[in-house]
Amino acid sequence: MFALTDSSDTTTTPDCEAIMKNLTKEEDIKMNELARYIQRGWIYFKHSLYYVSSTENTWNDSREDCLQRGADLVIINSREEQLKNRTWIGLTDAEKEQTWKWVDGTTPTISFWYIGEPNNVDGGEDCGEIYFYKRENSWNDAPCGRKNVWICEKNL
Ligand SMILES: [Ca+2]
Ligand SMILES: [Ca+2]
């Protein structure tokens, strides 16, 4: 970007101003987007936006809601993201029993299963929820048709 078209012309300067203008524009768009989400009740925390639903729904309908908001069900990468009791998170073993995957297709690198979980009660628990958020190990596998609140996460 600093290439000079004519090396003999010392007055030619790189078009830094234009580059800066572009960067500022991109930042502006990002800040505007952030502001819009926060206005709609999203919470900004460590480079992600979170939306906690005020209603309850099945895991699939919860995920659909998140997707429609330009996000997805929360993927938990740290203890700090454990937020509320009986909340859907973006974790499922519906594809293959006992192979838990986040909604982005990744396998959990860290997990916080509650003692004895996941236990797939009656062969019908394929969706992940936060069961007791006050405990560090708070996850439970629950029937996907259960109605829970849910958390959407949008990475920035
Ligand atoms: Ca299961
Ligand atoms: Ca269970």
| pLDDT tens, residue by residue, 72-126 | 999 987 666 656 678 999 999 999 999 999 999 999 998 999 999 999 999 999 9
Ligand nearest to the CA of 113: 2
Structure-model confidence comparison of residues 5 and 24, the more confident one: 24
The whole-number pLDDT of residue 134 equals: 73
Cβ proximity of 74 and 128 under 8 Å:
no
6: confidence class by pLDDT, cuts 50, 70, 90? very low
Measured between alpha carbons, how far is 132 from 84 in angstroms, rounded to an integer? 7
CA of 120 to the centre of ligand 2 (A): 5
Tell me, in angstroms, the distance from the centre of ligand 1 to residue 36's CA.
Answer: 37
CB-proximal residues (5 Å) to ion ligand 2: 117, 119, 125, 140-141
Q: What is the DSSP letter of 17?
A: H
CA distance 81 to 75: 9
- Ligand whose nearest atom lies closest to the CA of 100: 1
pLDDT digits (tens, 9 = 90+) for 46-64: 888 999 999 999 999 999 9
Distance 90 CA to ligand 1 centre (A): 14
Ligand closest to Cα of 140 equals 2
Q: Is the pLDDT of residue 8 over 50?
A: no
127-130 and 149-155 as β-strands: parallel, antiparallel, unpaired?
Answer: unpaired
Give the Cα separation of 36 and 137 in Å (integer): 34
Measured CA to CA in angstroms, residue 130 lies from 61, 90, 114, 121, 142 at distances of 17, 10, 9, 16, 10
pLDDT for residue 73: 97
Degrees (nearest 5) of the Cα angle 107, 109, 110?
A: 125
Q: What is the DSSP string of 27-87?
A: HHHHHHHHHHHHHTT-EEETTEEEEE-SS-B-HHHHHHHHHHTT-EE----SGGG---SSE
The mean pLDDT value for 2-22 works out to 54
Using alpha carbons only, give the angle 77, 78, 83 rounded to the nearest 5 degrees.
105
Q: How far is the CA of 111 from the centre of ligand 2 (A)?
A: 14
pLDDT in tens, 61-76: 999 999 999 999 999 8
- In this predicted structure, the answer to whether residue 2 has a pLDDT above a threshold of 80 is no
- β-partners of residue 102 are 91
Whole-number percent of the chain with pLDDT over 90: 56
Q: What percent of the chain has pLDDT over 70?
A: 84
Among the bound ligands, the one closest to the CA of 117: 2
In terms of DSSP bridges, do strands 149-155 and 48-52 run parallel, antiparallel, or are they unpaired? Answer: antiparallel
Domains in the chain, CATH or no CATH each: 45-155 (3.10.100.10)
